[in-house]
């Protein structure tokens, strides 16, 4: 293949701006609670992202709290919050970021004729005034301000240049070019970035933000980099609005694998953490990964045909352009079984970067033993799943599942009996359902007394094979509160019951939190 010379002479780092917790979470059906957001944020910091867009603080009190918790806790990445141009939005965003080591405010407004006319109902001049106002206010709060003209790829060039120049004059230090509706084609998008770079004077970094409606998000982002962009906005597993955003793992590995096409450019991502990050995001969002997903899919390094197997056995590079280990997809990661002790268990976890101590370790080890008795060997992926479920529920301390008995079959009515306990008190319920899982969930409803609607149910296997652990993620909605829960077991009905109960506990916790907020507000309102 002939290498096409890059249009851009600049060298240096490509900054990875992760928006999994903001744009990624906007994907239909994803509702992460603040604890889950924090867990993903911790892993993103371990992965080495430069910027972490934690959310859109003005969207809801829960979102504000999640951004605040991330800003307070996460070390390493710059923490970013999204804001519209309204002054109150910008101030609220700044308030959420107040405790961050380093903070960025990301201000956006639509600039395409279609968005201005149908959504904003504003003229071009009004939009320009908004840009000056919003970016200017953000620059009063922080030195690091990003500006995005939403729907940039359908915005007339002259107007976009005017808007971007106004943003720079008002204090923007990063100009993002969002392909909001995934309309871009690589060479066209690359030209757009080059054009901005040439025509907009000032000291700023150009960023790409590409959606995947035509399956071109990664290609467009890379075209942007070749044309001079030095920040790329991405989501883990490519999640996001509609068809999603450019996938972090794809952009990072394309840059790492083809230095001939991106001379002198590198990211600071610890690529060995990619697979684990991908699995975590997939589990907590309930978005399963397609098997053939580039870089992090379970088949990304699997070879089926005899010719390929022969080649790879003789020399890996015959059919592999990346090493599995380089993206954390280490093969032959074995394996704990029922004879393994607590020490080996905690060491294996530490190797995976999971540090659990004290009561949480006891609980995870007890669950590991219980599962190891039913399954011959447990892989790294199994271990992670067990610990996440067990530690998650230990921290949440709500109802615990004591007993589950189900009966069903082709002729019997599916029936379940459940015993749960909380604070030493046990309660029991029996229910019938459409199937055994339905009966188990209804019995839990009876035993816990929480009436909720099951809005999403996802079942997958943690690893392959007949003895794989079943991994269930459910989402419940109760009186306007949404919560998800996970359960892992060799038995899929038990996994579903555990997931349902974990979600019930989260709804109850969220209710308690909401009650506390209302009480505090009342106190604050009292003179």
**Interface residues toward ligand KIV, by CB under 6 A:** 23, 108, 148, 150, 176, 178, 180, 209, 211
Q: Give residues with Cβ within 8 angstroms of 301, minimum separation 6.
A: 320, 324, 329, 331
> Minimum distance from CB of 22 to Zn ion (Å)?
8
CB 444 within 8 A of CB 418: yes
Q: Which is nearer to ligand KIV, 174 or 180 (CB)?
A: 180
**Closest by CA position to 405, among listed 467, 447, 368:** 447
> Minimum distance from CB of 148 to ligand KIV (Å)?
4
Instruction: Tell me the residue number closest to Zn ion, measured at CB.
Output: 23
> Minimum distance from CB of 371 to ligand KIV (Å)?
40
Angle separating helix axes 34-47 and 380-396, nearest 10 degrees: 140
Q: Which is nearer to ligand KIV, 85 or 176 (CB)?
A: 176
Q: Which is nearer to ligand KIV, 148 or 475 (CB)?
A: 148
Separation in Å, CA 9 to CA 194, 206, 331, 475, 503: 12, 14, 39, 49, 52
Write the DSSP assignment of 35-98 as a string of letters: HHHHHHHHHHHHHT-SEEEEE-GGG-HHHHHHHHHHHHH--SSEEEEEE-SSHHHHHHHHHHHT
**Closest by CA position to 202, among listed 145, 149, 261, 120:** 145
Q: Which is nearer to Zn ion, 17 or 204 (CB)?
A: 17
Q: Which is nearer to Zn ion, 106 or 197 (CB)?
A: 106
Q: Which is nearer to ligand KIV, 26 or 288 (CB)?
A: 26
Sign of the CA dihedral with 307 first, then 310, 311, and 317 last: positive
Q: Which is nearer to ligand KIV, 86 or 427 (CB)?
A: 86
The piece of 15-23, 44-52, 132-140, 155-163 that touches Zn ion (CB under 5 A) is 15-23
Q: What's the CA angle centered on 345, arms 339 and 351, to 5 degrees?
A: 140
Q: Which residue has tokens 């917790």?
A: 21
Q: Which does 148 bind (CB under 5 to 8 A by kind): ligand KIV, Zn ion, none?
A: ligand KIV
> Minimum distance from CB of 236 to Zn ion (Å)?
14
> Minimum distance from CB of 192 to ligand KIV (Å)?
14
Q: Which does 8 bind (CB under 5 to 8 A by kind): Zn ion, ligand KIV, none?
A: none
> Minimum distance from CB of 472 to ligand KIV (Å)?
31
Structure token pair of residue 195: 């054009």
Q: Which does 50 bind (CB under 5 to 8 A by kind): Zn ion, ligand KIV, none?
A: none
Q: What DSSP element (H or E) covers 13?
A: strand 12-13
Q: Which is nearer to ligand KIV, 88 or 517 (CB)?
A: 88
The piece of 21-29, 281-289, 373-381, 492-500 that touches Zn ion (CB under 5 A) is 21-29
# residues contacting Zn ion (CB under 5 A): 1
Among 23, 250, 388, 438, binds Zn ion (CB under 5 A): 23
Q: Which does 111 bind (CB under 5 to 8 A by kind): ligand KIV, Zn ion, none?
A: none
**Closest by CA position to 166, among listed 117, 211, 200:** 200
Q: Which does 207 bind (CB under 5 to 8 A by kind): Zn ion, ligand KIV, none?
A: none
Q: Which does 150 bind (CB under 5 to 8 A by kind): ligand KIV, Zn ion, none?
A: ligand KIV
Q: Which is nearer to Zn ion, 217 or 361 (CB)?
A: 217
> Minimum distance from CB of 375 to ligand KIV (Å)?
42
Rule CB under 5 A: say whether 380 interacts with Zn ion.
no
Q: Which is nearer to Zn ion, 23 or 249 (CB)?
A: 23
CB 57 within 8 A of CB 93: yes
Beta strand residue intervals within 269-375, DSSP E: none
Q: Which does 108 bind (CB under 5 to 8 A by kind): Zn ion, ligand KIV, none?
A: ligand KIV
If DSSP states are collapsed to H, E and C, what string results for 366-434?
HHHHHHHHHCCCECHHHHHHHHHHHHHHHHHCCCEEEEEEEECCCCCCCEEEEEEEECCEEEEEEEECC
> Minimum distance from CB of 323 to ligand KIV (Å)?
33
- Tell me the helices (H) and strands (E) count for the chain, helix number first: 16, 16
CB atoms within 10 A of CB 294: 15
> Minimum distance from CB of 108 to Zn ion (Å)?
9
Interface residues toward Zn ion, by CB under 5 A: 23
């Amino acid at each position: 293949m002939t290498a096409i010379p890059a249009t851009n002479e600049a060298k240096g780092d490509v900054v990875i701006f992760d928006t999994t917790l903001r744009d990624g979470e906007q994907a239909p059906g994803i509702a992460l609670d603040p604890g889950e957001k924090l867990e993903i944020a911790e892993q993103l910091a371990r992965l080495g992202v430069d910027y972490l867009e934690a959310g859109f603080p003005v969207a809801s009190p829960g979102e504000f709290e999640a951004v605040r918790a991330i800003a307070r806790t996460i070390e390493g990445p710059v923490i970013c919050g999204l804001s519209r141009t309204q002054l109150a939005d910008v101030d609220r965003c700044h308030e959420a970021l107040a405790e961050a080591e380093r903070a960025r405010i990301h201000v956006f407004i639509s600039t395409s004729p279609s968005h201005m006319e149908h959504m904003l109902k504003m003229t071009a001049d009004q939009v320009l005034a908004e840009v000056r106002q919003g970016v200017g206010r953000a620059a009063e709060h922080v030195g690091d301000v990003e500006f995005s003209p939403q729907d940039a790829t359908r915005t007339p060039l002259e107007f976009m240049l005017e808007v971007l120049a106004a943003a720079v004059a008002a204090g923007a230090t990063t100009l993002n070019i969002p392909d909001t509706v995934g309309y871009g084609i690589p060479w066209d998008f690359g030209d757009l970035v080059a054009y901005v770079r040439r025509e907009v004077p000032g000291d700023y970094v150009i960023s790409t933000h590409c959606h995947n409606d035509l399956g071109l998000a990664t290609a467009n982002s890379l075209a942007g980099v070749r044309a001079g962009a030095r920040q790329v906005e991405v989501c883990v597993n490519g999640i996001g609005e509609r068809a999603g955003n450019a996938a972090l793992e794809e952009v990072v590995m394309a840059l790492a694998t083809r230095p001939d096409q991106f001379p002198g450019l590198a990211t600071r991502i610890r690529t060995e953490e990619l697979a684990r990050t991908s699995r975590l995001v997939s589990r907590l969002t309930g978005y399963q990964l397609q098997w053939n997903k580039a870089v992090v899919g379970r088949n990304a390094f699997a070879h089926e045909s005899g010719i390929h197997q022969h080649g790879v056995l003789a020399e890996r590079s015959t059919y592999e352009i990346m090493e599995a280990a380089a993206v954390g997809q280490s093969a032959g990661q074995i394996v704990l079984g029922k004879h393994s002790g607590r020490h080996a268990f905690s060491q294996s976890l530490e190797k995976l970067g999971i540090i659990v101590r004290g009561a949480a370790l006891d609980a995870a080890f007890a669950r590991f033993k219980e599962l190891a008795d039913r399954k011959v060997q447990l892989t790294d992926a199994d271990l992670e799943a067990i610990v996440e479920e067990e530690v998650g529920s230990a921290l949440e301390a709500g109802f615990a599942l004591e007993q589950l008995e189900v009966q069903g079959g082709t002729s019997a009515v599916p029936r379940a009996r459940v015993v749960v306990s909380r604070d030493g008190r046990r309660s029991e319920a029996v229910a019938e359902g459409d199937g055994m899982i339905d009966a188990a969930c209804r019995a839990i409803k009876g035993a816990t007394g929480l009436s909720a609607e099951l809005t999403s149910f996802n079942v997958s296997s943690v690893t392959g094979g007949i003895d794989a652990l079943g991994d269930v993620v459910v989402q419940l909605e109760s009186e306007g509160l949404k919560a998800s829960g996970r359960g892992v077991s060799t038995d899929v009905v038990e996994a579903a019951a555990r997931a349902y109960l974990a979600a019930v506990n989260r709804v109850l916790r969220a209710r308690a939190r909401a009650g506390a907020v209302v009480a505090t507000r009342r106190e604050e309102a009292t003179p």
